[in-house]
Structure 1
Amino acid sequence: MYSFKNDYSEGAHPRILNALFESNLVQEDGYGEDRFTLEAKELIKQKLSNSNVDIHLLSGGTQTNLTAISAFLRPHEAAISVSTGHIFTHETGAIEATGHKIISVEGENGKLTVEHVKKVLESHPDEHMVKPKLVYISNSTEIGTIYQKEELIQLRQLCDEEKLILFMDGARLGSALCSSECDLKLSDLPSLLDAFYIGGTKNGALLGEALVICNDALKEDFRFHMKQKGALLAKGRLLGIQFRELFKDDLYFDLAIHANSMAEKLRDEISKAGFSFLTHSPSNQVFPIFPNAFIEKLQQKYAFHLWEKIDNDSSAIRLVTSWATKEDEVLAFIEDVKKGF
């Protein structure tokens, strides 16, 4: 059985494993003070074309979200998220456990707009309610959609006017930036966001996310917050080595391009076979709508998530491709869809 469940079913790209092996007996300082981590941070800054950002390496997306958001907010402040946002649906109340409410809105195609944020602000006018302070977005979103540059510019302008923090979850940032429909570059992000992270776990690393703090007001004492949340790893080198390998050339982007190209094959051929989709998702997540009986047949050969019931006879499933997805398996899936095996 071949899995299209997620983009972290495999281990890591061989270059990363080789780099970890070759450096295994090299002695280095701990807690991210090693030369591998320092080199990785400089490489990322070069890719960002910005030397003024602070970069911190953490182990996973949920840990990054809860550490960053709880550090950025005061006790009475809250985050705004779409109802499909990862911090609202898939993190076991991690943000709330730090004492901060998440205000959810339905959003539009998995995205927040200026109008959504304005409505939240209007409905939280005074000190009898939590104060909306942080705008949480994901790129790509939980349903595979992506933000365009103009959308981020509009959110940035509103956040500046209302003194809000704009924070981007970048667990699948590589896929978003490498989408054929994306007009953003990695180097655009520091001027548009207060903070964001570059996901490694879902793009070829064993584990790891690179948090980029752009707003100077959010930088102070962040390592204290990391230590308190268990995010300051003694063997921080393990993260540094991986991100150094991903960013010393274009490996990070090459892996995302492969994941996207596999997803594009699935989208194109499933569409040609006459099926529709839950959403237009130009990234590495695909949400086709199939008859329930056909889904049961596909489950005999493939693993994937049942995403949403459409009606009594059909449902949307989620197919996720990765840096390691085999083209032969994609073609086999397509053939099974075509023949309705």
Structure 2
Amino acid sequence: MYVYSFLNDYSEGAHPDLLKILATTNEQQEMGYGEDTLCQKARELILAETGNPAAEVHFVSGGTQANLIVLASMLKPYESVIAADSGHINVHETGAIESTGHKVHGVPALEGKIRVESIRAVVEEHGDEHMVHPAAVYISDSTELGTVYTLDELEEIAAVCRELGLYLHLDGARLGCALTSTHSDVTMADIARLTDVLYIGGTKNGALLGEAIVISNRELQSHFRYHIKQRGGMLAKGRVLGSQFAGLFTDGLFYRLAEHANTMAARMARGIEDLGFSFATPPQTNQVFPVFPNELIRQLNTKYAFHTWEKAGPDQAVVRLVTSWATPEKAVDGFVEDLGKMG
């Protein structure tokens, strides 16, 4: 039995405030399929946060489902999407996008962040009807490697997408941690302004489950509920999702939970660095990627759960350590202490 798990940020159930909302509204009769008063309240709070009252907000259960529905709704049968080679849709969604008939162009990225020259290269390469037609760009913030986009980087990507006629979709599974990172100068309103569609992650930020899809581009709003229903994302008890997002966006809870996860990760990263270890990517959010000797990883795995991410040479590897809204200081300090003893 592990002393503590740093595998992910969804091992715990949900923040007590969200459970309280579920309990207090439990016997309250509501409409189904996201048309209840709880979902409506959540929509109003999210739209106020994005600063775009003309946007639409829809709730689905998970991130893969959100990406699948959004991209399937965006793309014609012959169109494709560009993503960082480390992007979730390119690596960890079991070909969900490809299963809808759409190619994913995985392109080289810098610390998990897609570069505009890679976007241009894919568009220039696909010039006629004998090839797929790139029509969208997918990015994640924070990225799959724990890094965050700056406002300048997002502005540049958005400008290139507008120039080339591409939709821009942002995967916000860990958007809370991105926005509260000390390395970020981006707001929720910035992201809503620069993207056509984004989703706000609840599953990895204190909710039992749920993601909120925000569609700023009016062209993509028409009949979106049809896409949700067809892809199995329309829950009869949509209230379960809406009530949690209403709680997350009341009194700044969404940001407080993410900030705690980031604070615990920064505490861990400082301890690891003080012991002389390096990182594969700079620690910026709640995912930390240190490089450890293989024997040390084996010893640590007797007490702690975490992912061995990739090889970093014949005798060492990159590991991923993830903190959450519920990670206690004592778990982080215990890990660093054991790391020092074993290392």
- Answer yes or no: is the 8 Å Cα contact 2:52–2:216 preserved in 1: no
The SS at the match of 2:83 is strand
The match for 1:233 is: 235
2: distance between equivalents of 1:338 and 1:160?
Answer: 50
Partner residue of 2:293 out of 291, 294, 301 = 291
* Corresponding residue of 1:91: 93
Residue 336 of structure 1 corresponds to 338
Q: Deviations over 1:313-333 (max 9, x none)?
A: 111100000001111010000
2:213 corresponding residue in structure 1: 211
Measured against aligned partners, the alpha-carbon deviations of 1:258-298 in whole angstroms (never above 9, x if no partner) come to 00000001111100110001111301000111111111110
Query: Matches of residues 295-314 of structure 1 in structure 2 within 5 Å?
Result: 295-314=297-316
CA distance in 1 between counterparts of 2:102 and 2:336 reads 45
Aligned length, in residue pairs: 341
Q: Give the letter for the 2:234 counterpart.
A: L
1:62 aligns with 2:64: yes
Q: Which residue of 1 aligns with 2:223?
A: 221
Corresponding residue number in structure 2 for 1:279 = 281
Task: Kindly provide the CA deviation profile for residues 40-92 of structure 1, in whole angstroms up to 9, marking residues without a partner as x.
Answer: 00011111122111000010000000001000111110000111110011111
CA distance in structure 1 between the partners assigned to 2:205 and 2:192 by the alignment = 21
Distance 1:150 1:324 in 2: 32
For residues 194 and 31 of structure 1, the distance between their equivalents in structure 2, rounded to whole angstroms, comes to: 24
Alignment of 1:118-267 (within 5 A): 118-267=120-269
8 Å Cα contact 1:144/1:282 also seen in 2: yes
d(CA) in 1 for partners of 2:8 and 2:223? 35
Deviation at 1:340, TM superposition (A): 2.2
Q: 2:52 aligns with which of 33, 50, 55?
A: 50
Q: State the distance in 1 between where 2:62 and 2:323 align.
A: 19
Matches of 2:217 and 2:283, distance apart in 1: 30
Whether contact under 8 Å (2:109, 2:115) holds in the other structure is yes
CA–CA distance in 2 between the matches of 1:56 and 1:162? Answer: 27
- C-alpha displacement of 1:145: 0.9
Query: Could you tell me how far 1:104 is from its partner in structure 2?
Result: 1.0
CA apart distance, 1:311: 1.1
SS in 2 for 1:24: coil
1:17 counterpart residue number: 19
Shift of 1:190: 1.8
1:339 positional shift = 2.1
Secondary structure, aligned partner of 1:318: strand
Report runs of 4+ in structure 1 exceeding 6 Å deviation: none
CA displacement at 1:246 relative to structure 2: 0.4
Task: Give the structure-2-normalised TM-score.
Answer: 0.98
C-alpha contact 2:266 2:283 (8 A) present in aligned 1:
no
1:198 corresponds to which letter in structure 2? I
Q: CA deviation at 1:205?
A: 0.2
Q: CA–CA distance in 2 between the matches of 1:72 and 1:220?
A: 11
Percent identity over paired residues: 52
Q: Which residue does the alignment assign to 2:328?
A: 326
Q: Which runs of 5+ in 1 are unaligned?
A: none
Do the aligned residues in 1 keep the contact of 2:183 with 2:284 (CA within 8 Å)?
A: yes
Q: Which moved more, 1:4-13 or 1:104-113?
A: 104-113
Tell me if structure 1 keeps the 8 A contact 2:307–2:321: yes
Please state how far the C-alpha of 1:110 moved relative to its aligned partner.
Answer: 0.8
- The superposition leaves residues 177-210 of structure 1 with CA deviations (integer Å, 9 ceiling, x where unpaired) of 0000100011111211111010000000000000
Conserved? CA contact 1:146–1:281, under 8 Å? no
CA deviation digits over 1:106-140, x for unaligned, max 9? 21111111101011111111111000010000001
For residue 227 of structure 2, give the secondary structure of its aligned residue in structure 1.
Answer: helix
- 8 Å Cα contact 2:269/2:283 also seen in 1: no
Shift of 1:248: 1.5
User: Retained in 2: the 8 A contact 1:80–1:104?
Assistant: yes
Letter matched to residue 332 of structure 2: V
User: SS of the residue aligned with 1:75?
Assistant: coil
Q: Secondary structure at the match of 1:154?
A: helix
Instruction: Give, in whole Å, the separation in 2 of the partners of 1:153 and 1:46.
Output: 22
- Whether contact under 8 Å (1:69, 1:95) holds in the other structure is yes
Equivalent positions of 1:68-107 (< 5 A) are 68-107=70-109
Post-superposition CA distance 1:297-316 (Å, at most 9, x none): 10111000000111111111
